[in-house]
């Protein structure tokens, strides 16, 4: 729709008042009503946390209403640059695996609500004004829809109803809320047991390259992640994955494995192999924490898997699959307690000499292997010996004594635990 440049645009009056002004004055309540409608009537948006509704969704609804009001004031088509916010919002939704159909439905619901509001203000004499408004609303809907499609783009994997269903069931299982109801609604039966996987993935070369579209590289990596994990279980994996990892639930076949004896099961070995192959496919290091749980125990298992993953990374793990059993000592050492700061302070004298502290950490992480420490730090073995002697002198602990080695190991665990707590407080 284009305005005749030879004639001034005549303001649209509804109920005897400027329609643009009336909508501008009612912007806040109309935005809130629109957000509530979308949240109630669009399946995916019902799964969003309150924070997302208050921020992302509310912001883009407000922007869309402002754009429609500007069309009512001028009668002119929206310039492409004015639609950039809509395209960017759609791009983010695509990265979050929101089905395109769900997003488009939200836009059409919004337009419908605005039309209902305008119609309520009209009087019998407003037939021509309503016709003009309808044409402008159709033009706005076409422009916003085109912007959404541009945001998703040909490179964005448009998600299916199946993808939405899998995400919905993951949310229900990981929160323990309405699990049976959601399972029935989405048509995915619950498994007897799930592999609970918390995953961290490093950036690959494509994501760091200035010659490659980073968003495309990230999406490709996510698709590889999803494909490999889908091959492990009876059915496709449930979960939320991004380019840096995420959490997934992998359904276990009915005959596999017993809850108390699963680490040697063929399916677990397949999971480990798939994750190992994944590193080669995506060109990035991958570390995963794995647990097993029945549906009722999934919320606690997801929390534990994430905690174990966090501990593994704090202790220098950048690759492979870990279980709580593999890091039981490290995990326990990083649990909050009144003794943590006291233990951590054992290493306080080393903060004045970062090289000595780094050497001690490497020495402990390598299983008290001086040669391995030297290789890791790229120094001469004698340098390691010298620095460890200095660490003993500064802390007053004899690193040749088994008792003092236990204490310094616990001190390092406490120091890292405090670091984990600090990281968590910032997120």
3-class SS letters over the chain: CCCCCCCCCCCCEECCEEHHHHHHHCHHHHHHHHHHHHHHHCHHHHCCCHHHHHHHHHHHHHHHHHHHHHHHHHCCCCCHHHHHHHHHHHHHHHHCCCCHHHHHHHHHHHHHHHHHHHHHHCCHHHHHHHHHHHHHHHHHHHHHHHHHHHHHCCCCCCCCHHHHHHHHHHHHHHHCCCHHHHHHHHCCCCCCCEEEEEEEECCCHHHHCCCCCHHHHHHHHHHHHHHHHHCCCCCCCEEEEECCEEEEEEECCCCCCECCECCCCHHHHHHHHHHHHHHHHHCCCEEEEEEEECHHHHHHHHHHHHHHHHHHHHCCCCCEEECHHHHHHHHHHCCCCCCHHHHHHHHHHHHHCHHHHHHHHHHHHCCCCHHHHHHHHCCCHHHHHHHHHHHHHHHCCCCCCHHHHHHHHHHHHHHHHHHHHHHHHHC
Please tell me the pTM assigned to this model: 0.53
Per-residue pLDDT of the chain (427 residues; tens, 9 = 90+): 444 444 577 889 999 899 999 999 999 999 999 999 998 888 777 766 565 667 788 999 999 999 999 999 988 888 888 888 898 888 777 766 667 888 888 999 999 999 999 999 999 898 999 999 999 999 998 889 888 888 876 344 445 567 778 888 888 898 888 889 889 988 888 988 898 999 888 887 777 766 655 665 676 777 778 887 887 766 788 887 777 888 899 888 766 665 566 777 777 888 888 877 778 777 788 899 999 899 999 999 998 998 899 888 877 788 888 888 888 877 877 777 777 788 888 999 998 899 999 999 899 888 889 999 999 999 999 999 999 999 999 999 998 888 888 888 888 888 877 764 444 444 3
Please name each of the domains of the chain with its CATH number: 13-152 (1.10.490), 161-333 (3.30.70.270), 340-426 (1.10.10.2840)
């Amino acid at each position: 729709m284009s305005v005749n440049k030879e004639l001034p645009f005549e303001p649209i009056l509804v109920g005897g008042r400027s329609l643009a002004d009336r909508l501008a004055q009612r912007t806040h309540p109309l935005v809130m009503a629109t957000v509530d409608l979308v949240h109630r009537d669009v399946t995916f948006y019902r799964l969003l946390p309150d924070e997302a509704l208050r921020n992302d969704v509310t912001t883009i609804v407000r922007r869309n209403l402002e754009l429609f009001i500007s069309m009512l004031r001028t009668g002119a088509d929206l310039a492409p640059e004015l639609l950039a916010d809509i395209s960017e919002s759609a791009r983010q939704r695509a990265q979050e695996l929101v089905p395109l159909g769900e997003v488009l439905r939200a836009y059409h619901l919004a337009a419908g609500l605005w039309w209902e509001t305008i119609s309520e203000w009209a009087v019998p004499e407003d037939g021509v004004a309503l016709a003009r408004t309808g044409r402008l609303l159709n033009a706005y809907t076409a422009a916003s829809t085109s912007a959404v499609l541009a945001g998703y783009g040909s490179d964005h994997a448009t998600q299916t109803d199946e993808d939405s269903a899998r995400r919905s069931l993951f949310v229900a299982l990981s929160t323990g809320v309405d699990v049976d109801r959601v399972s029935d609604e989405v048509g995915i039966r619950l498994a007897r047991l799930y592999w609970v996987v918390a995953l961290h993935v490093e950036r690959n070369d494509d994501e760091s390259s200035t010659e490659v579209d980073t968003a495309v590289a990230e999406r490709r990596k996510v698709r590889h992640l999803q494909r490999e994990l889908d091959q492990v279980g009876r059915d496709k994996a449930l979960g939320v994955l991004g380019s840096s990892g995420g959490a997934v639930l992998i359904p276990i076949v009915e005959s596999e494995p017993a809850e108390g004896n699963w680490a040697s099961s063929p399916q677990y070995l397949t999971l480990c192999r798939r994750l190992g192959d994944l590193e080669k496919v995506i060109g990035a290091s991958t570390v995963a924490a794995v647990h097993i749980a029945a549906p009722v125990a999934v919320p606690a298992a997801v929390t534990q898997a994430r905690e174990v993953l966090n501990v593994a990374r704090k202790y220098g793990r950048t690759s492979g699959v870990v279980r709580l059993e593999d890091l039981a000592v490290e995990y326990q050492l990083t649990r909050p307690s009144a003794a943590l700061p006291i233990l951590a302070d054992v290493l306080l004298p080393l903060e004045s000499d970062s090289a000595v502290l780094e050497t001690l950490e490497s020495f402990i992480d390598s299983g008290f292997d001086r040669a391995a420490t030297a290789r890791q730090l790229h120094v001469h073995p004698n340098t390691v010996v010298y620095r460890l002697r200095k660490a003993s002198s500064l802390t007053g602990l004899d690193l040749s004594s088994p008792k003092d080695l236990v204490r310094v190991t616990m001190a390092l665990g406490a120091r890292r635990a405090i670091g984990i707590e600090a990281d968590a407080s910032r997120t």
